Chain A
Amino acid sequence: MPDGTHTTIGQPAIRIDGRAKVTGMARYASDEVVANPAHAFLVTSAIARGRVRGFRLEAARAVPGVLDILTHENVGGEAEKPQPMSGGDTTTTLESDRIWHDGQIIALVLAESFEAAREAAHKVEVDYEAETPAASFGSPGAEEEVREAGEHKDYKLGDAAAAFAAAEVKVDARYGTPTQHHNPIELYTTTCEWRGGKLTVYESSQFVYGLRASLAKQLRMDPGDIHVVSRFVGGAFGSRGGITARTAWVAVAARRLNRPVRLVPTRDQGFTIVTYRAETRHHIQLGATRDGRLTALRHEGWEVTSRPSQYNVSGTETTARIYACPNILTKVNIVHADRNTPGFMRAPPETPYMFALETAMDELAVSLGMDPVELRRVNEPERDPATGKPFSSRSLMPCFDQGAERFGWKRRNPSPGAMREGEWLVGWGCAAAAYPANIGPAACRVTLTAEGRARVQIAAHDIGTGAYTAIAITAADRLGLELGQVLVELGGTELPAAGLAAGSSHTAGICNAVAKACEGVRQRLAQAAVTSNEGKLAGLDPASLTLSAGALRGPGGAAEALPKALARAAPGALEVYAENIPQGLPPESIGKVYQGQMAMSRGHSREDATTYTFGAQFVEVRVHELTREIRVPRAVGAFAAGTIVNPLTAYSQYMGGMIWGIGAALHEATEIDPHAARYVNDNIAEYLIPVNADVRSIEVIMVPEQDSQVNPLGIKGIGEIGIVGMNAAISNAVWHATGRRIRELPIRIEDLL
């Protein structure tokens, strides 16, 4: 038993699963060993709208090793379509002959080997009845409707139209963001194995209980008969948040063959068989007084979704509460096209909507002749402008001030094109970042063993964020142990439930649950110690005892080593199960998590306060005076997110978000053929993301912030905010370098010629 030290929250720690990952010991879903699997290969549609009239399968069946081919004709009735996490309905696959979008799953070929399945899939001939598809905004046949309030809210304060009309200074502009795809390194694999009537599914997931619940409904099974396993996740970014169609069909295939089936789809199939970030359009009107105070803010958004889905991100819920403004009006429209259903992707609402708002704010600063940072200061609200509630904490201006200081912002010449280095035009831009501090209920089991080790069990998800380590740190902190003494088990429905790892809610949700279970352990140990007839802690107040550095300690320096304290409390091992229900959620919300439903307390819909994370981002761009290529030599991000559990992985999260922001602003876009409504650059040779050469200096400042209201541990969540301000900071820097205001992403050479 060590003495003197234990791991504490806020102390940087390397990942406890790092060694397993770099040595190949970490088992991703398709690495899980199953006996004698058959291999599945997907056949996807080559048209975006219409029907499958029929298949010619002779050539495919003739490929040696082919076992079965699943189509709507032979298995259509065996599963129902999945239940998306958001947006209601979605498109079908093998349930019918209908084709809703390009790349839709229309058949599964099963064979003895991956190669045979692939070869046969290429030989499947499809007879289509094609209809003219609508690709996107403005395509003939696309249907637009106003998004009703429900899952998302609209805000109407004062009279924005009148205030805008009367404003001394105005910005009135339209913005756009492109389609984007997650492309995590780990492909969207699924492996299913039946034992009797029980099904095990190995699939990378951001919500194992959600996957289980939907799958049970789709296959008309008892959820208790399904075990979902997802120990390691090779990147998710939202793409593994909801279940998609493939999973049920792999399960059906395994049942038909009476043998495990493994599906490893291709990279290009990943563009159409899961979700993506849909393109958006925005209209923003800002009115302000001469001294920069906002008098009117109107933000209207348009978002593309599939024909049956109502999925939308409604980032106006964030853009309405960044700045003090008496007259606010928001509205969101949905445009249905012949596309697959979109879904979560890093900061789903904020990435596109804050691009629009924060670019508009920069335009306002230019019109006012005001420094953009000062414009934010003038409009700093006392309370949430949309609801009048207090912020649990709000450190936007400390972020701006510390970021500006580090970046050297005061050396900026405000005139566009005024800063140069040789043949390169230099531009500096900044933008605010904001993301709601969300939290979900979670359950957890902590077992303290006689050797003084702890085992923490929770169906949490480490999507590369460092959840394994954050959980271990929290348990070590609360139990007075070292990191190496904590064993963490996560990623499976055999464990106590945790919610969807999304919305930057996960660390807060799971760490608070772990802390609560650890508190249960402390109480049991303390109770046993104080009620004992012997020992140094006998007779003390149990609430005064703490666990630290391997011992149970009393106020006056009295201490008892953990094994001894444990022996008194429980024979062998002490096990405590706890459920954490965040402030404002009903007790039954943990039951919803067990049932695989979303049960999240959101930063903008809490009763007691608005809880948000804020940040400020500063970017330098260089644009060549002649050929106009854009480079980003440096970026600084300052963020205040309450308690930082592990500064090391937090740094990576922020930095990763900022790097992605460079890509989102300058490189990334899924190109859609306007006539065929099909993705054209569906591979990562042509879908550009930044390479090392594009990422130069990235600095992250973690602005200290304590927030005891947001949740007991004061954790606000950091997963998404790193990307939020980057789009606008870059577009604002491009304006500063060139005098060109580019309102549509990505910003490319041709926009600046």
Chain B
Amino acid sequence: MRPFSYQHPRSTMAALALAAQHVARPGEARRPAPARYLAGGTNLLDLMKIGVDHPATLIDIAALRQEHGRIEADESGLSLGALVRMAEAAEHPAVLRDYPAIAQSLQLAASQQLRNMATLGGNVLQRTRCNYFRDPSWPACNKRMPGSGCAAMQGVNRRLAVLGVSEHCIAHYPGDFANVLAAFGAELDLLAPDGTARRIPFEELHRLPGGTPHIETNLQPGELITGFRVPAGPWTRRSLYLKIRDRDSYDFAQASAVVGLDLQDGVVREARIGLGGLVAKPWRAHAAEAALNGQRLDRAVAEAAAAAAFQDAVTHGENAFKPELGRRTLVRALLQAAAMEA
């Protein structure tokens, strides 16, 4: 076992203070030993055991549930604390009633045991399942070792992404819930180690791989996610999350679609579309939304929207089927959402 230090602060302020010790100050030569917040640990501890992540310090934020573990809903929207557990949000009556896509994205993720442990904050930050990334014995992985190359590009990449990829990395963002947050235009509440709070659009949390696939988010060093704010809209009620996978449960998406519709007499006033399973980061399909807005939603319109969503798809051999699967998934989700009682 590689030694690491384990801290369990009792409050947000104490957690931030610990994080501050590990943040490089301008002009500081020594690279501080990395620290990570430990939430449910279902991704982080896994990565530590398989030798992919090596934090010197774990800051256990379980005690922060007091401050950031609530679910609150009113007419204007839904607030989810970062330490809410996946299972709690998935089973919450207001979420089930008014944000079905959120409830489904969580219910269909992982297993009950994992959902009981894992938090929403940790969930959105889960890392790719690219097997070349997850096994340090592979020498080429730009995400794990910048500049080393990408073994997946010509290797086993059936699960990897076709949207948002670069010539340096085709890793997929594997999660479900974050795609709904992106589609619904959610916002993210952050606290920097010095106590500065900021709220950013959730879509700005993750970065595309570009030339720096090892930098996955726009978080500042030591920044803590405290919660999510999802604005209510007619599309949040008429919404669903459709997840297509090889197994009927306990499997990551091969393709998924978030659909939220403001539908009036069969005409789309406003659509919110997200994609998952084949995207480099949580994905809002703006082009598909544009293709739907103002249209009478029928099969042809759904197909046109799906085509727009995958216009820029890039495939690499094994995953060549994914744009087609993604289009069909979106078409199915759109037709299903149009038929919903809402």
Q: Which residues of A contact B (CB under 8 A)?
A: 46, 115-116, 118-119, 122, 268, 423, 624, 626-629, 631, 666-667, 671-676, 678, 680-682, 685-686, 688, 690-694, 748-750, 753
Contact = CB atoms under 8 A, between A and B. Distances in A.
B132 A680 contact: yes
B151 A627 contact: no
Contacts of B132: 680
A20 to B, nearest CB: 26
A692 B249 contact: yes
Interface stretch (B30-38, B78-86, B240-248, B262-270): B240-248
Contacts of B332: 423, 624, 626-627
A627 B329 contact: yes
A691 B328 contact: no
Contacts of B300: none
Given A749-B325, A753-B321, A694 B248 contact: yes
Given A666-B246, A753-B325, A122 B51 contact: yes
6 contacts: A46-B137, A122-B51, A268-B135, A672-B156, A693-B248, A750-B158
Nearest to A115: B1
A667 B247 contact: yes
A115 B331 CA distance: 50
B6 interface: no
A631 B248 contact: yes
B246 A749 contact: yes
B155 A680 contact: yes
A753 B249 contact: no
A666 B251 CA distance: 14
Contacts of A667: 246-247
Given A624-B332, A693-B249, A749-B246, 17 more contacts: A118-B1, A627-B244, A667-B246, A673-B155, A675-B154, A680-B155, A686-B129, A686-B131, A686-B159, A688-B251, A693-B248, A694-B247, A694-B248, A749-B244, A749-B321, A749-B325, A753-B328
A423 B333 CA distance: 13
Nearest to B129: A686
B254 interface: yes
A667 B151 CA distance: 24
A753 B246 contact: no
B340 to A, nearest CB: 15
A65 to B, nearest CB: 11
B236 to A, nearest CB: 24
B176 to A, nearest CB: 16
A483 to B, nearest CB: 36
A383 B249 CA distance: 46
A608 to B, nearest CB: 47
B67 interface: no
Given A626-B328, A627-B244, A629-B245, A750 B155 contact: no
Nearest to B140: A676
The listed residue with most A CB atoms (<10 A of its CB), out of B2, B156, B245, B331, is B156
Interface in B1-23: 1-2
B324 interface: yes
Contacts of B135: 268, 682
Interface residues of B, number: 33
Given A626-B328, A686-B129, A750-B321, A694 B249 contact: yes
B221 to A, nearest CB: 27
A671 B135 CA distance: 14
A626 B306 CA distance: 13
B246 A748 contact: yes
Contacts of A685: 129
A720 B80 CA distance: 51
A470 B331 CA distance: 55
A624 B244 CA distance: 10
Q: Which of A268, A666, A686 has the most CB of B within 10 A?
A: A686
Interface string B145-176: 00000010011101100000000000000000
Contact of A680 (B131, B246, B325, B329): B131
Interface pairs A-B: 9 shortest CB-CB: A693-B249, A750-B321, A693-B248, A115-B1, A46-B137, A680-B156, A671-B156, A626-B328, A673-B155
A676 B151 contact: yes
B325 A119 contact: no
A688 B254 CA distance: 13
A351 to B, nearest CB: 20
A373 B65 CA distance: 62
A523 to B, nearest CB: 56
A628 B246 CA distance: 10
Contact of A749 (B51, B156, B248, B254): B254
Contacts of B129: 685-686
Interface string B105-140: 000000000000000000000000101100101110
A446 to B, nearest CB: 46
Contacts of B255: 627
A691 B249 contact: yes
Nearest to A672: B156
Contacts of B246: 629, 666-667, 688, 748-749
Given A46-B137, A680-B132, A748-B246, A674 B328 contact: no
A119 B1 contact: yes
Contacts of A750: 158, 321, 325
Contacts of A686: 129, 131, 159
Nearest to A123: B2
A46 B331 CA distance: 43
A652 B180 CA distance: 42
Nearest to A689: B247
Contact of B247 (A119, A628, A674, A690): A690
A297 B77 CA distance: 68
A676 B2 CA distance: 29
A125 to B, nearest CB: 12
Contact of A691 (B151, B247, B329): B247
Interface string B213-257: 000000000000000000000000000000011111111001100
Given A631-B248, A673-B156, A674-B155, A626 B321 contact: no
Nearest to A750: B321
A676 B254 CA distance: 25
Contacts of B245: 629
Contacts of B138: 46, 676, 678
A8 to B, nearest CB: 41
Contacts of A631: 248
A733 to B, nearest CB: 16
Contact of A626 (B249, B250, B331): B331
